[in-house]
Amino acid sequence: MRVKIPRREIILFCSALLFPVASLCAQEVGQEVKEVRQDVEQLQQDVRELREEVRRLQEELHGFRRNSFPQCGMDTVAPYVPHRFIHQLGIEARPQYVFPTNPFLQGENERWKPIQSSFAAHLKYSFKFRSNTCADRIYGGAYQGFGLAVSTFGDRKQLGDPVTFYVFQGARIARFNPRLSLNYEWNFGLSAGWKPYDNDYNSYNGAVGSRVNAYLNAGIYLNWSLSRYFDFIIGGDFTHFSNGNTKFPNAGVNTTGAKIGLVYNFNREESDLTKSLVKPYILRFPSHISYDLVLFGSWRRKGVYVESGKQIASPGSYPVAGFNFAPMYNLNYKLRFGVSLDGVYDGSANVYTEDRIVEYDYDGGSGTSGRRFLVPGIQHQLALGLSGRAEYVMPFFTINVGLGTNVLGRGDLRGLYQVFALKIDVTRSSFLHIGYNLQNFQTPNYLMLGLGFRFNNKYPKVRH
């Protein structure tokens, strides 16, 4: 006899047997789904963080690009950093030793004491390129600015206490670590307030002949960044004061000594004191030949030796005018060299005096028996020379040196001459020219004050 089991009961019985197994599988699947969801959420969070890091790095790189030169293949829009330059204010003390280069400084003066020391206090403003930028790499952390100095030689009556206004520029020679470097610096300007030679009131002073004199200074020093705001500097320098042969006497004053100072950095960041892992790319410099044309003029006094072996000064000044035309090979961002064709008219060249013996004083005045200075023909006052030139190129300023000889010239205009000049950028194709010409490495010739023009200039445009 077959037992008939209702279908409904069979279904319920099977469901009762399978429910624990299905329930267990559902719990395991739910747990796995939950873990997968957590893993996915973690991955999404990691992706968001990576995206944020990539975005930050892109902004940082874009900032470097916008803060760099166009020649680096980068943008020229507004910089990423708040300021393109770091602005600085510094004070310096410069105790100096005075070289005894003439009898007045050696002790032949009103006090009959040698003048051996001087002291100068300096106040300086400058701006420099930020670290870890294209400009910093190319120009070695170059900085530039202007300064004001007050000097004393311990003899106000005979020399005065001159006040000097000057421009300056410096850069790194070597970097020992991000906070310590060896730097150089030059200064160029005018100093006023001297007590010059006077036949009646200051007749001993054979060193200084004018109230306003040129000021030249160069030195090296250690720069130690104490903190984000302060730098300490210590080093040495050399200083020269003279009037560029525009007045007599012109023996000048030369000093050397120490420089100690403190510099405050207004807007320097901590990142400027660390070594960056990101280095901006610098494009290869397009080597080329440019052509510099300089037109200059000035005036000078002339000293003439007489039969007694004594040199006397001319009663007036003579005009000087000339030109330089120099093809210059631009080797890289910081160096040019070439050859210059130099023409000059020197109104004082080959002047001479009458043979009769008379007295003459420095200040241009003379008695009734004053010696007469005679000027030769213009053919004795013209010269044409060739010189080798080299230039050290920096932002805003270029230093030019030359050594040459006159191939056409008579008398005073024969022999070797040396040129030292500072070129100050005005536009991309023009510059101011302030130079000095020496003869045979020792005899002062004349100033070279003028304007220059540069042709075929392919130097990459610089935007700091």
pLDDT tens digits, 141-169: 999 999 999 999 999 999 999 999 999 99
Residue among 395, 353, 340 nearest 140 (CA): 395
- Whether 71 shows a pLDDT value over 80: the answer reads no
Supply the pLDDT for residue 180: 94
- Inter-residue contact 232 to 303 (CB < 8 Å): no
DSSP class of residue 24? H
Supply the pLDDT for residue 148: 97
d(CA 84, CA 79): 7
Containing domain of residue 44, as a range?
7-66
User: What are the φ/ψ torsions at residue 197 (nearest 5 degrees)?
Assistant: -60, 135
Supply the pLDDT for residue 5: 56
- Whether 67 shows a pLDDT value over 50: the answer reads no
> Are residues 91 and 154 located together in one domain of the fold?
yes
> Are residues 265 and 344 located together in one domain of the fold?
no
Supply the pLDDT for residue 81: 46
Residue with tokens 């930050």, as numbered in its chain: 56
- Inter-residue contact 349 to 361 (CB < 8 Å): no
Supply the pLDDT for residue 263: 97
Looking up residue 435, the CATH number of its domain turns out to be 2.40.160.20
Per DSSP, the three-state class of 35 is: helix
Supply the pLDDT for residue 329: 97
> Are residues 52 and 159 located together in one domain of the fold?
no
Which tens digits make up the pLDDT trace of 15-48?
Answer: 555 555 555 555 665 677 677 777 778 888 877 8
Supply the pLDDT for residue 46: 78
What value does the mean pLDDT take over residues 397-418?
Answer: 92
> Are residues 313 and 259 located together in one domain of the fold?
no
- Whether 302 shows a pLDDT value over 80: the answer reads no
Residue among 354, 342, 444 nearest 403 (CA): 342
> Are residues 308 and 443 located together in one domain of the fold?
yes
Supply the pLDDT for residue 24: 53
> Are residues 178 and 229 located together in one domain of the fold?
yes
| Residue 427 falls in which region: left (phi positive, over 0), alpha (psi -120 to 50) or beta | beta
> Are residues 209 and 331 located together in one domain of the fold?
no
**Proportion of the chain above pLDDT 70, given as a percent:** 79
**Any domain includes 462:** no
Task: Point out the least confidently predicted range of 300-314, 315-329, 442-456.
Answer: 300-314
Supply the pLDDT for residue 445: 86
Higher per-residue pLDDT: 69 or 18: 18
d(CA 387, CA 435): 15
Q: Which residues, 6+ apart, have CB-to-CB distance to 243 below 8 Å?
A: 208, 209, 210, 212, 213, 214, 250, 252
Could you tell me which residues are beta bridge partners of residue 149? 122, 164
Domain end marker among 273, 299, 323: 273
What value does the mean pLDDT take over residues 345-368?
Answer: 58
Domain end marker among 243, 273, 303: 273
> Are residues 202 and 348 located together in one domain of the fold?
no
Higher per-residue pLDDT: 275 or 207: 207
**Any domain includes 74:** no
What value does the mean pLDDT take over residues 433-462?
Answer: 89
> Are residues 146 and 106 located together in one domain of the fold?
yes
Supply the pLDDT for residue 426: 95
Supply the pLDDT for residue 132: 79
Q: Which residues, 6+ apart, have CB-to-CB distance to 177 below 8 Å?
A: none
What value does the mean pLDDT take over residues 116-135?
Answer: 92
> Are residues 90 and 27 located together in one domain of the fold?
no
- Structural domains of the chain, count: 3
Which tens digits make up the pLDDT trace of 74-99?
Answer: 434 334 444 678 999 999 999 999 99
pTM recorded for the entire structure: 0.77
The residue type of 459 is: Y
